[in-house]
């Protein structure tokens, strides 16, 4: 997995595949969840959608000036996120859309191809 040893691949990359507990992107694969930001793709220490909170999304806050929309893929099923999370993100100008991980990855790819200011927090699906 050259280029992703430190858990970060700089640049904007489409998600080529997902499932089996991980993702393919940038001619490499990663087992586990990922956070896809304008600065690059990073390993994300979230295995359960109930762990998606402000602390888990601090990297999104750090890049908020370059993000209009955050897509959160909560796994095989859509899961509710903490109610205050949407208003917290909105406070620094980031919208939130929650969906299954597969739908979030596909939507991310479409929006990136349109050069939109989008990020994705994707919980891996087994």
pLDDT in tens, 58-105: 999 999 999 999 999 999 999 999 989 999 999 999 999 999 999 999
* 8-122 CATH: 3.40.1230.10
CB 68 within 8 A of CB 96: no
| pLDDT for res 119 | 98
Please state, in angstroms and rounded to a whole number, the distance separating the CA atoms of residues 69 and 38. 11
Chain centroid to Cα 76, Å, comes to 15
Q: Residue 3 — pLDDT band, cuts 50, 70, 90? A: low
Task: Decide: residue 15, CB within 10 A, 0-12 exposed, 13-18 middle, 19+ buried.
Answer: buried
Q: For residue 1, is pLDDT > 70?
A: no
β-pair type (95-99, 69-73): parallel
């Amino acid at each position: 997995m050259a280029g992703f040893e430190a858990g970060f691949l700089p640049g904007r990359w489409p998600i080529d595949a997902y499932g089996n507990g991980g993702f393919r992107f940038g001619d490499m694969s990663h087992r586990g969840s990922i956070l896809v930001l304008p600065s690059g793709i990073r390993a994300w220490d979230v295995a359960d959608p109930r762990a998606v909170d402000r602390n888990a999304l601090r990297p999104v806050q750090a890049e908020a000036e370059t993000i209009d929309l955050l897509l959160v893929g909560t796994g095989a099923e859509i899961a509710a996120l903490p109610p205050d999370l949407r208003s917290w993100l909105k406070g620094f100008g980031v919208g939130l859309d929650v969906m299954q991980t597969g739908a979030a990855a596909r939507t991310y790819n479409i929006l990136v191809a349109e050069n939109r200011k989008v990020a994705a927090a994707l919980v891996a699906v087994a």
